[in-house]
Amino acid sequence: MILPFTLLRRLECVLEADKQAVLDANDKVKGMSLPEEAAEKLVLRATEQNFYNTYLIC
């Protein structure tokens, strides 16, 4: 039961450094009419990881 939450917390910590850059890039890409693959590549350039998360917790 605890292991999944530990994994989620670890992912959150890894992505925290690039979070604002990814959110800004995602907002910029949403305004463009690009294919999904091109939009994903543009957002990936904003991060040093091979993955990103645009989910925003308020």
Beta strands (DSSP E) in 1-58 are: none
pLDDT digits (tens, 9 = 90+) for 5-52: 999 899 888 888 888 888 888 888 888 888 888 888 888 888 877 877
Structure tokens at 10: 């670890």
pLDDT digits (tens, 9 = 90+) for 26-39: 888 888 888 888 88
Three-state SS annotation for the chain = CHHHHHHHHHHHHHHHHHHHHHHHHHHHHHCCCCCHHHHHHHHHCCCCCCCCCCCCCC
